[in-house]
Amino acid sequence: MSTVLPRPGAAPATRNGTAAAPRPARVRPAARRRGLTAGIFGIGSALPERVVTNRDLEQVLDTSDEWIVRRTGIRERRRLGEGELLAPLATQACADALADAGRTADEVDVVLVSTVTPDRVTPGLAPEIARALGATGASAVDLSAACAGFLYALDHAAALVESGRAGVVLVCAAEALSRIVDHTDRSTAVLFGDGVGAVVVAGGDLDLGLAGFVLGADGEQADLLYADAEARVLRMQGQEVYRHAVRRMSAATAEALQRAGLTTDDVDLFVAHQANRRIIDAVAAELHVPSEKVVLDVHRAANTSSASIPLALHQAERDGLLKPGMTVALAAFGAGFVWGAGVVAWKERVHACA
Ligand code: COA
């Protein structure tokens, strides 16, 4: 497949190489919020046991710990062992999320799993996770939206709950990027890791809940970051992806805050997709979010695609940075391109009852 890259400052190129007219900004209607409001009530996460440090990668690639840390902030990543499956790890994270929310598997109406690396091409991960949990009454489906998949799934879960179509939705992001990385390509092999994060979404009499969600997609840029079905290897134009990621996440977060009726000053924590520390810092700077409010988890888990946000949220909670009632801004960007942002009142009802 030929790759068409836009020149810096040029109008975005289409896939047949012609210049595309810039798309006019569209004013989005504010989401209707009435009755029950969806929120997050519990969280769980799991990482494979195998740790791969930058020093380990120095042994097999022409790279250095110094280069990786300086350019990305990554110090280590986890990888599934040979033949190890994602479903058991995801089931553990989901069980922990349910326990944290004080819910049982038989209460779950929908299991929604974001993944680009399921154990099998078909069936997806979700039915197996539902079976292993004992969520026998639940529907179960995978969703593929690359690194923005967790935010897409959260938005879908909120819609199901707020429309009354579901009472409890288990949202899980489960990824094994080590399965689709070219382990001989130093420009991508060092960036990615494996892991799982899950949250329980349900309804309540909440003030904010899951608010202001903004999702977007631009298929014109697909060739900048992709893995073909046959080769199943991730290819990326790093600098172009970097540029788009900063622009899209900054704009989407600003819009999400506006839709939620909030400003940056209202944000207690900012949790962006953990792709690269420099991207996260650039988005935070663009939004004027001070560094002490920016959650960084990329050093320990690297880029785990859609799992990176729930992994970072869970780690922030364990570190005592994230507490019930806090207002958290979320932002993500990934292959597609797809992106999203939203505002979450963290475990708001737990806070209200405390
Ligand atoms: N170790 C050592 N050197 C490396 C390297 C590695 N792992 N990877 C690339 N290099 C080299 C390049 O070959 C290049 O060498 P050259 O100058 O001799 O040609 C040099 O480092 C600079 O490469 P460049 O691509 O310009 O680096 P960069 O500062 O843009 O950083 C990324 C590269 C990939 C870290 C950065 O572009 C990035 O983070 N992009 C976004 C990627 C991403 O997050 N994707 C997922 C989004 S969901």
Q: What is the mean pLDDT of residues 101-113?
A: 98
Query: Is 110's C-beta closer than 6 angstroms to any atom of ligand 1?
Result: no
290 and 175 share one domain: no
Q: What is the CATH number of the domain that holds 76?
A: 3.40.47.10
Q: Which of 157, 178, 204 is the last residue of a domain?
A: 204
193 and 326 share one domain: no
CA 223 to chain centre: 20
Pocket test for ligand 1, best of 239, 281, 298 (most atoms within 8 A of CB): 239
Could you give the percent of the chain with pLDDT greater than 70? 89
* CA of residue 276 to ligand 1 center, whole Å: 11
Q: Of all protein residues, whose CA lies closest to atom 46 belonging to ligand 1?
A: 275
Residue 6 resides in a domain? no
Residue 354 pLDDT exceeds 60:
no
Quote the pLDDT of residue 70.
98
Query: Is 329's C-beta closer than 6 angstroms to any atom of ligand 1?
Result: no
In SS3 terms, the chain reads as: CCCCCCCCCCCCECCCCCECCCCCCCCCCCCCCCCCEEEEEEEEEECCCCEEEHHHHHCCCCCCHHHHHHHHCCCEEECCCCCCCCHHHHHHHHHHHHHHHCCCHHHCCEEEEECCCCCCCCCCHHHHHHHHHCCCCCEEEEECCHHHHHHHHHHHHHHHHHCCCCCEEEEEEEEEHHHCCCCCCHHHHCCECEEEEEEEEEEECCCCCEEEEEEEECHHHHHHEEECCCCCCEEECHHHHHHHHHHHHHHHHHHHHHHCCCCHHHCCEEEECCCCHHHHHHHHHHHCCCHHHECCCHHHHCECHHHHHHHHHHHHHHCCCCCCCCEEEEEEEECCCEEEEEEEECCHHHHHHC
142 and 268 share one domain: no
Residue 129 resides in a domain? yes
Q: What is the mean pLDDT of residues 65-74?
A: 98
Position 226 confidence tier, pLDDT thresholds 50, 70, 90:
very high
* CA of residue 68 to ligand 1 center, whole Å: 9
Give the lowest-confidence range in 4-13, 125-134, 217-226.
4-13
Residue 131 resides in a domain? yes
Quote the pLDDT of residue 176.
98
Rounded CA-CA distance 35/353 in Å is: 19
Q: Which of 159, 180, 204 is the last residue of a domain?
A: 204
Atom of ligand 1 nearest to the CA of 335: 48
Quote the pLDDT of residue 33.
52
8 A C-beta contact, residue 271 and residue 316: yes
8 A C-beta contact, residue 265 and residue 289: no
Rounded CA-CA distance 186/236 in Å is: 12
Angle of helix 277-287 versus helix 238-259 axis, rounded to 10: 40
Quickly tell me which residue has 């960084």 as its tokens: 296
Q: What is the mean pLDDT of residues 53-79?
A: 98
Residue 148 pLDDT exceeds 80:
yes
Pocket test for ligand 1, best of 5, 235, 276 (most atoms within 8 A of CB): 276
Rounded CA-CA distance 12/245 in Å is: 15
Query: Is 192's C-beta closer than 6 angstroms to any atom of ligand 1?
Result: no
Quote the pLDDT of residue 53.
98
Quote the pLDDT of residue 30.
53
User: For the CA atoms of the chain, what is the radius of gyration?
Assistant: 19
Residue 228 makes CB contacts below 8 A (sequence gap 6+) with 1
Residue 31 resides in a domain? no
Greatest alpha-carbon pair distance for the chain in Å reads: 58
Query: Is 74's C-beta closer than 6 angstroms to any atom of ligand 1?
Result: no
Q: Which of 204, 235, 268 is the last residue of a domain?
A: 204
Residue 81 resides in a domain? yes
Residue 2 pLDDT exceeds 70:
no
Query: Is 71's C-beta closer than 6 angstroms to any atom of ligand 1?
Result: yes
Q: Of all protein residues, whose CA lies closest to atom 8 belonging to ligand 1?
A: 187
Query: Is 323's C-beta closer than 6 angstroms to any atom of ligand 1?
Result: no
181 and 272 share one domain: no
Strands 110-114 and 168-176 come out as parallel
Active site residue 147: yes
Position 352 confidence tier, pLDDT thresholds 50, 70, 90:
low
Quote the pLDDT of residue 285.
98
- Tens of pLDDT, residues 162-188: 999 999 999 999 999 999 999 999 999
Quote the pLDDT of residue 76.
98
43 and 183 share one domain: yes
184 and 133 share one domain: yes
Residue 350 pLDDT exceeds 90:
no
* CA of residue 307 to ligand 1 center, whole Å: 22
Query: Is 239's C-beta closer than 6 angstroms to any atom of ligand 1?
Result: yes
153 and 221 share one domain: no
Quote the pLDDT of residue 349.
79
Residue 141 resides in a domain? yes
Give the lowest-confidence range in 2-6, 138-142, 162-166, 216-220.
2-6
Tell me which residue of 170, 157, 176 sits closest to 116, measured CA to CA.
176
Query: Is 226's C-beta closer than 6 angstroms to any atom of ligand 1?
Result: no
Rounded CA-CA distance 126/87 in Å is: 8
By CB atoms closer than 10 A (0-12, 13-18, 19+), residue 315 is: buried
Q: What is the mean pLDDT of residues 253-282?
A: 98
Quote the pLDDT of residue 35.
77
Quote the pLDDT of residue 27.
47
Residue 343 pLDDT exceeds 60:
yes
Q: What is the mean pLDDT of residues 222-244?
A: 95
189 and 49 share one domain: yes
Q: Which of 94, 276, 303, 314 is catalytic?
A: 303
Q: What is the mean pLDDT of residues 235-246?
A: 97
Could you give the percent of the chain with pLDDT greater than 90? 88
Residue 230 makes CB contacts below 8 A (sequence gap 6+) with none
Q: Which of 147, 156, 244, 314 is catalytic?
A: 147
168 and 248 share one domain: no
Query: Is 111's C-beta closer than 6 angstroms to any atom of ligand 1?
Result: no
Atom of ligand 1 nearest to the CA of 273: 48
- Average pLDDT score, the chain: 91
Active site residue 16: no
Residue 5 resides in a domain? no
43 and 108 share one domain: yes
Give the residue numbers spanning the domain of 233.
210-353
Hey, which residues does 204 pair with through a beta bridge?
A: 37
- Tens of pLDDT, residues 319-336: 999 999 999 999 999 999
- Tens of pLDDT, residues 6-45: 333 334 444 443 444 445 455 454 554 557 899 999 999 9
Position 210 confidence tier, pLDDT thresholds 50, 70, 90:
very high
46 and 188 share one domain: yes
152 and 270 share one domain: no
Domain count, the chain: 2
